Amino acid sequence: VSTQSTGKKRIENNIFKNIRTMQDLNPIVLPGNYGYVLAGVTATALTVTLLNFRISKFRKAANVEYPALYADDAEARKDKAKFTFNCAQRGVANLMETYLQTTLFTLIGGLTLPRVAAGLCGAYCVGAIAFAVGYSSGEPLARYKSFGGAGVLVRVALLGSLITAGNTLFYVLTNTAVSYTHL
């Protein structure tokens, strides 16, 4: 029993030691232009919301009832409205497949390059809208026309921004004093 008690005491001491140590970490100071990053991330949320509202129009025209995510494939082959609804739904689904990493890349990349990250995030929104609108035309290959196909390039650029920010985060996490006031 005393061995268990001693082990429990040791664990409690380590937990409290870690809590005291965390107070000694250097704070992350956000760059003055980080508001642009937050505006970019907010724009992605608005983009997702508006495109999802847009799908409602296609759902109603195709007479696809909830909770069906897509119209039945056999019906969509015969009915242009159902096919177009499936295309519109897929266009937004593609956006949702890349939304989380785009948001993450923007937030972290913005720690070192706030204007660049925000600009790339804005370009991602424009590309996502063009992709979804092109896809919902009922002609799936139309999703690659205009700026819609540039979404891949924008995500690669955001990945570069993440790598740059990763270097900065490494120094922050290893208790090296970092200041972003020069940005």
Report CA-CA distances (Å) from 150 to 55, 108, 123, 165: 22, 22, 9, 23
Report CA-CA distances (Å) from 136 to 72, 86, 141: 17, 8, 10
pLDDT tens-place string over residues 131-158: 888 888 888 888 887 776 777 777 777 7
pLDDT value at position 171? 65
pLDDT value at position 178? 47
pLDDT tens-place string over residues 14-72: 555 555 555 555 566 788 899 999 999 999 999 999 999 999 999 999 999 999 999 99
Label residue 141 exposed, middle or buried (CB < 10 Å: 0-12, 13-18, 19+): exposed
Give the pLDDT band of residue 92 (cuts 50, 70, 90): very high
pTM of the predicted protein model: 0.74
pLDDT value at position 16? 55
Instruction: Output DSSP code: residue 175.
Output: T
What gap in Å lies between CA 149 and CA 101, rounded to an integer?
18
Give the pLDDT band of residue 172 (cuts 50, 70, 90): low
What gap in Å lies between CA 82 and CA 99, rounded to an integer?
26
